[in-house]
């Protein structure tokens, strides 16, 4: 199963619209989409290592723009769209907890949660719901997402061939770990 998915992803990573598709996934993940952009970012960079930092920059910009939409959902549309997205992921109790934490630790929450597998959409929507300072939200979201995506770009640019070989040899194990990380991110939120 993972081999077919991996081969399909690599074929897509070579497509002329691969970077645009990555931008769309990154944008959507920051406001409502469940799949983290890393799943697309890694194969795209592996296929285009010379453009690794450009690809990371596009992913970062799209993620921050999507985060602004998530912020707007929390700020302006909580009663309709925001609550629906949060309920869709079973995180309604956590949104209130995040909102309360923003009063004291808003910037730290955004910086830390943006690096983890915890769904970034929860952070963006909760930031808007808490009416966190928008300029500071954009700044901290940019810092945390840039750090995450540029770190991936740096590692893949420097160690791309051995990383790709490692992935291909241990594809099933890595696929299972990615599923566990995705589920673990949602589970971690439910425990907070």
Distance CA 86, CA 127 (A): 13
What is the pLDDT, as a whole number, of residue 3?
63
What is the pLDDT, as a whole number, of residue 95?
67
What is the pLDDT, as a whole number, of residue 186?
54
What is the pLDDT, as a whole number, of residue 76?
93
What is the pLDDT, as a whole number, of residue 39?
82
Distance CA 6, CA 52 (A): 19
What is the pLDDT, as a whole number, of residue 28?
92
H helical segments located in the chain: 2-13, 18-29, 38-47, 52-76, 83-88, 92-113, 120-129, 134-169, 171-191
Using 50, 70 and 90 to split pLDDT, how confident is the model at 188? low
Distance CA 43, CA 47 (A): 6
Whether 187 has a pLDDT exceeding 70, the answer reads no
What is the pLDDT, as a whole number, of residue 183?
64
Whether 9 has a pLDDT exceeding 80, the answer reads no
Whether 172 has a pLDDT exceeding 60, the answer reads yes
Whether 179 has a pLDDT exceeding 80, the answer reads no
What is the pLDDT, as a whole number, of residue 61?
98
Do 33 and 70 contact (CB within 8 A), yes or no? Answer: no
Q: What is the pLDDT of residues 64-117, one digit of tens each?
A: 999 999 999 989 988 888 888 777 777 677 666 777 777 778 888 888 888 877
Using 50, 70 and 90 to split pLDDT, how confident is the model at 161? confident
Which range marks the domain in which residue 49 is found? Answer: 2-191
What's the average model confidence in pLDDT over 9-22?
Answer: 82
Max CA pair span of the chain: 48
Report the interhelical angle of 52-76 vs 120-129 (nearest 10°): 40
Count the domains in the chain.
1
Question: Of 41, 119, 129, 14, nearest to 79 (Cα)?
Answer: 129
Using 50, 70 and 90 to split pLDDT, how confident is the model at 38? confident
């Amino acid at each position: 199963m993972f081999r077919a998915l991996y081969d399909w992803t690599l074929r897509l990573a070579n497509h002329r619209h691969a970077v645009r598709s990555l931008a769309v996934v990154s944008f959507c993940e920051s406001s409502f989409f469940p799949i983290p952009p890393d799943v697309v970012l890694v194969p795209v960079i592996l296929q285009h290592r010379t453009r690794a930092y450009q690809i990371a920059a596009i992913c970062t910009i799209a993620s921050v723009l999507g985060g602004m939409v998530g912020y707007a959902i929390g700020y302006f549309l909580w009663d309709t769209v925001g609550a629906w997205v949060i309920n869709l992921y079973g995180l309604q109790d956590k949104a209130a907890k995040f909102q309360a934490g923003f009063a004291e630790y808003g910037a730290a929450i955004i910086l830390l949660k943006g690096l983890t597998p915890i769904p970034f959409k929860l952070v963006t929507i909760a930031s808007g719901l808490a009416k966190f300072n928008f300029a500071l939200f954009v700044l901290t979201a940019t810092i945390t997402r840039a750090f995450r995506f540029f770190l991936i770009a740096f590692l893949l640019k420097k160690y791309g061939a051995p990383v790709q070989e490692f992935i291909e040899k241990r594809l099933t194990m890595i696929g299972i770990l990615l599923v566990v990380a995705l589920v673990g991110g949602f589970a971690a939120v439910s425990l907070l």
